[in-house]
Every structure is written in structure tokens, then in C-alpha cells.
Structure 1
Amino acid sequence: MSIPRPRKIVLLVALVATLVLLCCGGSVTALLVGGLTDEGSDKLTASGGCGKAGPIDPDTKLPRIRPYGAEQIRNAAVIINVGADLKMPPRAWVIAVATAMQESRLNNLGNLGARNDHDSLGLFQQRPSSGWGTPQQVQDPVYSSTKFYKKLKTIPGWEKMPLTRAAQRVQISAYPDAYAKHEPIATQIVNTLADGAANAVGSSVAMVCASAGQIAASGWTLPTGAVVGSGFRTASRPNHQGVDLIAGKQTPIMAAASGIVSMVKCDEDRRGRRTCNVDGYPGKGGCGWMVEIQHAGNVMTRYCHMVTRPFVREGQEVAAGELIGRVGSSGNSSGPHLHFEVHLNNDRSSAGAIDPVQFMREQGSPLGGPG
């Protein structure tokens, strides 16, 4: 089978135990990305660019990315190559890989008899009876990937949609919310195979690293453009479960990724009061006006100290970059800033909190350097 070979993707083959990167502030930070194996032994790798180099060669020995095997990763490489050849931006590659993960676990499925969903076949479980092509065609990974991208391209505004909604508009699945859980690993696959392409601006074919106000192909963006003041669990503040992004009052706060708003409230202070419409002070306690959003992969983000009641409501679906509130100084605060937290496993307690600086760097949307 002939494999398309785009000009702007590179296979990342260097697996290393640690990778040190110079962040924007000039400090050296160890960046560790799990999930890769080489003949079953754990390795660590990281992408060093934004998809700026040459082609993936699916016929070489590709890195393993748990829980997928060599043939599955080869199929992911074909999906990415086809997207690049069709001049689809890297956000489309993430969507396509995640969709194939849900539909076939990146296996090119043939006729499985009663185990097939009707006459669904191939990487994307496309149905010949629904006009996707002949059985032979939809079992060709290049053909099926091409059909997926061409249908995606016809959907107005797909670039800004949550991944699960864009995928559903193409697939018309009986399980429309099933695609979201694959977004984090799909992002890792694209970054690993395509030299950090998920760090690039998601809607552009230029392969330029995403910056403030831009949404990366990973689906993440900065909650606000600001430098980092107080960091995560520092020696002076070991119980600080997030980072403080220093910005003036009324600075817009954006959803860092698409998701569902799980909490909107005026947080109580240490005296049990809900007094969020006034500036707080150190020692007052509480987050002031706050929002929590649940994202794909059981990730939760928290936004504190807003100046007024947030602009969103519980249960609302928000897109990456959508305005959710404005910077203020309510609650336990010494001045205007956004307190931003990232939690894993949808665990809103301190046990679920991780360093937002490292997490956002890995999503291609690095927070500002130390203030």
C-alpha cells in the first residue's frame, strides 16, 4: 500500500529517560511524558517542536504508546499522514486519531460477522450501506482516513468544537460522548509521531506553536495571558494547590479547554461568610467567586478570585477559549489575580491537584514565566 508522505511531520524516535527544556523564563525544567514503551520496557519521551519537520515513515520501527501495539501505531501514522497531505490542520489529526481509537482501537477491522455493528468496517467503522464506499475501500486506511477528513471539513466551525462533538458530526454514533475520553492519548500520539504537532495552533497548517489567545491542536489554551506569581506547593506555601496568574482587574478569564461546568459558587471564607462582591484580603479564606470545569480524560480545572459572579452556569458546555469570567481579588487574596488549578481523576481535593505549569506546557499552552 502506498503511504502518503507529507512534508511537515517528523517521526520522533529518540526515547530518553529525561528531557530538559528551557522554558520561556530561562529556567531548566525536566519534562517527563509517560506511556511509551520499547519492547515492553518503560521509556520517557517528549516532543521538541510544533510539527515543523519531515514525514512519518510508517514502515520503520515506531515507538509504542500504551496500550497500543505496533500495527495500531502504524495506523495512527497513516491517519496523520493523510491529514497532512489533505492540508488539514493538526487539530483534525487529533480528532481523527481519537475517533479511530473509539471506533476500532486503531485496528483496521474486517468482517467480524455478528461482532460488527451492521456492516461497519475499517479504522473508522464506516458502513458501505451508508455510502462511505465499498467494503474493500473502507478497509483501506488511506481511503477511510481521507473520507473522514473530507466529511469533517464540511462541518462549519469544527475547529472550535469540543472533540467529541466534531467526531460525532462525522460518525453519527449511537454513543456521541464516547470520543472525549480518548483525547489525551490521541494528543500524545500526535505529539510523539509528529514532532509536537499537537502543540501547534490547532486551526492552522503553518505548524506554528500556539501562544496566548490561541488554541493548540491538543484543545487547550491559556486561561489568561499573565505571568506566574506564586507557584504550586512552594516552600513558602506548601498547601498552595495551584498557581497565581498575575493580571489586572477585569482581565478576561477563558476556559482552558472544552468541557462541562461542574461548579459555580461564591466560596465561603473562614468565618462561613459568602462575601465575594468585595475585595478580599490575605487570611480571609476561600476562593471567592469560582468556577470548576470537567474536561476530557477526567481532568478538572479550577478558577478562583473572580471580580463578579461568573458568566457561566453549572451543567453548561463550554468551548476552549470561551469567556467564563473576569479577574478580581475576591476571597483569600492580596491583589487581583487568577488562581488556577488542575486536578486529575476529577478529584477536586488536594490529592488530585498537579502542577499547572508542567501540565499546560505538555498541552502546548505554557503558562507565563515566574513573576
Structure 2
Amino acid sequence: MNLPRPRGVALLIALTATLALLCCGGAVSALLLGGFDNKEEKLNLLSTDCGADGPIDPDGKLPRVGQYSPEQVKNAAVIINVGKQLKLPPRAWVIAVATAMQESNLRNLGHLGKRNDHDSLGLFQQRPTSGWGSPAQVRDPVYAATKFYEKLRKVKNWDRLPLTRAAQRVQISAYPGAYAKHEPIATQIVNMLADGAANAVGDSLAMVCPSLGQISASGWTSPLATSGKGLKKKDKMVVGSGFRTADRPRHQGVDLIIGSGNPVRSVASGVISRIKCDETFSGKQDCDVPGYPGKGGCGWMLEIRHAGKIMTRYCHLVRRPTVKVGQKVAAGEVVAFSGTSGNSSGPHLHFEVHLNNDRSSASAVNPVQFMAQHGSPLGASQ
């Protein structure tokens, strides 16, 4: 393989102060940095280049990243570089790295004796007896990654599937839901090793930062489409009232101003966790009529839980969503429609992001900053 020329590790290191400015409090920094404690492990995960400089050379000097040693990080870099050489988009790199995290903890494993799963070997625990290749081949990281990507390519609509489903179609694991928990850290590592590529859209030859409404390689997108099918004519989303502003210090989300009846989309793959009519005026719950200032409550409200213990909340919906609690949804899937129910002065979507699957105000973080860090900007302010 012809791998890119080495670049300095200095490109990977970010100042804590810079992250503090870009983030909305220590909780988000901890989430994005995977709980890294060593100052040298606080990496630049917020590249604005969206993969412009491409992956770094896996043979260069690489740092420890959280629980992952330099050797494990090198294996991730090899996986990413193979994906680029095969001209696959960065979404495939995120899926592949997350899969190797689950299968081998990014270690090129040999035979583990009684702990072995049959004859599984290598980064992806591929089985020679199942046709993946010889024992020597599947223990070659380049070969193993190539075989993973070749099978991923054959999965119908793999790039639009939730990560755990795409990985499972390739691996046929006994634990099909296990891959999802690695998606946030896999995204961070791809961003670190490939100049913010997980924030990009497009393929390895033409990566660009996403426009509003596009799904980034990290698997995140805007909750509202800004153009295309379903958007009502003349409607254009803008960011209105912000997160915990001076005049609204208890405003735990951001108001996305758009007309009533526009499709609201899940910002990432996840599971519907709550649907509720949340109105408090005079003890009544009447969410099927337009609200007004002072009425109280969120109106028709929907909550979705995502990988990494992230929960998103969508308020003031025009009617009860037709999705069901416990239903799995994909990034960009329409889950409701914008409206003005509850405590509302006009049609808009109130959008919140919470950490640790915690519904309380203590867990809320700034959605504008959070979504920008996930390659899915919410748009311009009024």
C-alpha cells in the first residue's frame, strides 16, 4: 500500500483551554475526550477541515489514547488507511474501527486457547474455517481490514444503516447490539487520525464538511431538513432562542424556528424512549391545539436515546408522534412534525441534548456546540 507521508503528532494535540472555549462545560469535554486524564491525551477532535489532509501514517509516532496503547492506535490508523485506499467514505472507517474495538479491543490477537471463540484471529476476530483467509492472512491488519471492507460493501444500504446493524451484517456476531457502544470513541479516533474525517460527507476522494441536513460520517445530522423532500415551501430553519441565555437562564435547549408541519428527524440512530403530552396550564393536558406563551410545558414531546448514553429531546410537536416507545430509528429518519403546542409563542422545534441518559436539567448541554462537534451544524442564528 502507498500510505500518506508522516505528519507530526503535534497536529493531534489540542490545548485544554481551546476545548473549554469550544465546549459547553466540563461534561461535554469529558464526553468528547472519552474521559482522558493525561494532558498529552487531550487530542484535537474538533478539526474544521473535515478530512482535508487525510489519514496520518500508521508507521509514525502515535500517542496513547485513553485505554488504547500506541500499538492499538496504530491498528486503528491501519484500518482507516485501508478504507481510504479502497476509496470508501469515512463512515466506513468509523464502522470498521468500532467493530475492531468490540472484537479485539484493537489488538491483533493470536490464538487465545480456551478463551478463543472457535478459531477467531486478528483485529476483527475473523475465522479461517469460515472462509476469511488463512490464519496468517487474517492476522495481517491490512488484509483483515480489506476483507472487512469488502464484505461491508456488499451490505445493502450499509452507509444508511445504524452502525451496529451494518457491523453485524458483516460479522454475524452472537452479540449484535454490542458494537453501538463503541461508536462515540471510534468517531473521536477517526477524527484524530484523519483530520476530522468523521465530521465529513462524501467519499475518500471528495470529502467535504456537511451541509445542513446531511448525515456526517459520525452518524449525526440536523433534526430539521433545510431543503428537499418534505420541507414546506418558503420555510427556512434558523436558530432562535439559545441555550441558557441571560434572559432565559433555564432554557435547557435551543429553539429552531421553522413553520408548523415540517418533518422532525432523529439526529442519530437510537431508540425512542419517551413520548409525552407535557402541558401544565390549569392541570390540563391539551397538546392537540396551538399553544401560547405562559401555557407551560413542552407540548407534544419526544425523547430518543443514542449510543454513548446521549439523549435528545424534541418539543412543541404539532401532534402525537406515530413512532412507538422502544422503536429503533436511524439517523435522519422522520419521527415527528414541528408545531407550536405547549408553552410556545409560535411554530418552532425546541431541541435539547442530554448526557448520561439523564432527563434532568443538570445533564443538558448546548445543542449548537454539541452538534457542531459532531459534524452536524444547526445553522445560523436569527
TM-score w.r.t. length of structure 2: 0.89
Correspondence for 1:261 among 235, 255, 272: 272
Number of the residue aligned with 2:283: 272
Are the aligned partners of 2:259 and 2:348 in contact in 1 as well (CA < 8 Å)? yes
CA distance in 2, matches of 1:38, 1:263: 34
| 1:249-269, Cα deviation, whole Å (9 max, x unpaired) | 112111100111111122132
Q: How many residues are matched?
A: 362
Q: Aligned-pair RMSD on alpha carbons?
A: 2.2
- Counterpart check, 1:30 vs 2:29: no
Q: Please state whether the residue corresponding to 2:22 is helix, strand or coil.
A: strand
Number of the residue aligned with 2:255: 244
Q: How does 1:120-199 map to 2 (within 5 A)?
A: 120-199=120-199
| 1:36-86, Cα deviation, whole Å (9 max, x unpaired) | 969774534232311112442112112332121100000000000000111
Change (3 A) 1:19 1:49: farther
TM-score w.r.t. length of structure 1: 0.92
Residues 305-314 or 138-147, more deviating? 305-314
Unaligned runs of 5+ in 2: 24-28, 227-236
Q: Please state whether the residue corresponding to 2:282 is helix, strand or coil.
A: coil
Number of the residue aligned with 2:3: 5
| 1:331-366, Cα deviation, whole Å (9 max, x unpaired) | 011111100001111111112211111110111001
Are the aligned partners of 1:291 and 1:304 in contact in 2 as well (CA < 8 Å)? yes
Number of the residue aligned with 1:339: 350
CA distance in 1, matches of 2:21, 2:259: 28
Q: Which has the higher strand share?
A: 1
CA distance in 2, matches of 1:161, 1:182: 16
Deviation at 1:314, TM superposition (A): 1.1
Deviation at 1:4, TM superposition (A): 4.5
**One-letter code of the match for 2:363?**
G
| 1:186-232, Cα deviation, whole Å (9 max, x unpaired) | 00000011011011116675211111121000000000142211111
Unaligned runs of 5+ in 1: 22-27
CA distance in 2, matches of 1:188, 1:359: 13
Q: Please state whether the residue corresponding to 1:50 is helix, strand or coil.
A: coil
Number of the residue aligned with 2:339: 328
Are the aligned partners of 2:43 and 2:192 in contact in 1 as well (CA < 8 Å)? no
- Counterpart check, 1:117 vs 2:113: no
Change (3 A) 1:203 1:318: farther
Number of the residue aligned with 1:24: none
CA distance in 1, matches of 2:35, 2:13: 8
Are the aligned partners of 1:52 and 1:207 in contact in 2 as well (CA < 8 Å)? yes
Change (3 A) 1:29 1:17: closer
Change (3 A) 1:300 1:327: same
Change (3 A) 1:176 1:265: same
Change (3 A) 1:147 1:118: same
Residues 208-217 or 47-56, more deviating? 47-56
CA distance in 1, matches of 2:321, 2:213: 20
- Counterpart check, 1:15 vs 2:26: no
Are the aligned partners of 1:265 and 1:290 in contact in 2 as well (CA < 8 Å)? yes
- Counterpart check, 1:282 vs 2:280: no
Number of the residue aligned with 1:220: 220
The percentage of aligned residue pairs carrying the same residue is 67
**One-letter code of the match for 1:15?**
I
Are the aligned partners of 1:13 and 1:62 in contact in 2 as well (CA < 8 Å)? no
- Counterpart check, 1:304 vs 2:302: no
CA distance in 2, matches of 1:171, 1:10: 35
Are the aligned partners of 1:36 and 1:64 in contact in 2 as well (CA < 8 Å)? no
| 1:228-257, Cα deviation, whole Å (9 max, x unpaired) | 111111111111111101111112111100
Q: Please state whether the residue corresponding to 1:293 is helix, strand or coil.
A: strand
CA distance in 2, matches of 1:316, 1:193: 34
Q: Which has the higher helix share?
A: 2
Change (3 A) 1:158 1:367: same
Are the aligned partners of 2:279 and 2:299 in contact in 1 as well (CA < 8 Å)? yes
Q: Please state whether the residue corresponding to 2:96 is helix, strand or coil.
A: helix
CA distance in 2, matches of 1:325, 1:10: 46
- Counterpart check, 1:317 vs 2:335: no
Correspondence for 2:360 among 341, 349, 358: 349
Deviation at 1:115, TM superposition (A): 1.1
CA distance in 1, matches of 2:41, 2:157: 39
